[in-house]
Amino acid sequence: MKADTPVPKGFDYFDLSECIMAKTLIKGNFEDACANACNIVDKAIKESEKYAADWEKYPFEAEVYLTPPDDKEDYIFGYYVPCVEKE
User: Does the residue 4 lie in any domain?
Assistant: no
Percentage helix, strand, coil for the chain under 3-state DSSP, each rounded to 5: 20, 30, 50
- pTM score: 0.71
User: Does the residue 6 lie in any domain?
Assistant: no
Going 55 to 20 to 14 to 9, the CA torsion angle's sign is negative
User: Does the residue 56 lie in any domain?
Assistant: yes
DSSP-assigned letters across all residues of 7-39 = --TT-------S-EEEEEEEEE-HHHHHHHHHH
User: Does the residue 8 lie in any domain?
Assistant: no
Express each pLDDT in 31-86 by its tens digit.
787 788 888 888 889 998 999 999 888 888 888 878 776 656 778 888 899 999 99
User: Does the residue 9 lie in any domain?
Assistant: no
User: Does the residue 64 lie in any domain?
Assistant: yes
Please give the residue range of the domain that contains residue 77: 20-85
Express each pLDDT in 45-60 by its tens digit.
999 899 999 988 888 8
Express each pLDDT in 6-37 by its tens digit.
888 998 887 778 889 988 888 888 778 778 88
Structural domain tally of the chain? Answer: 1
User: Does the residue 1 lie in any domain?
Assistant: no
Rg of the chain over all Cα atoms, to the nearest angstrom: 14
User: Does the residue 15 lie in any domain?
Assistant: no
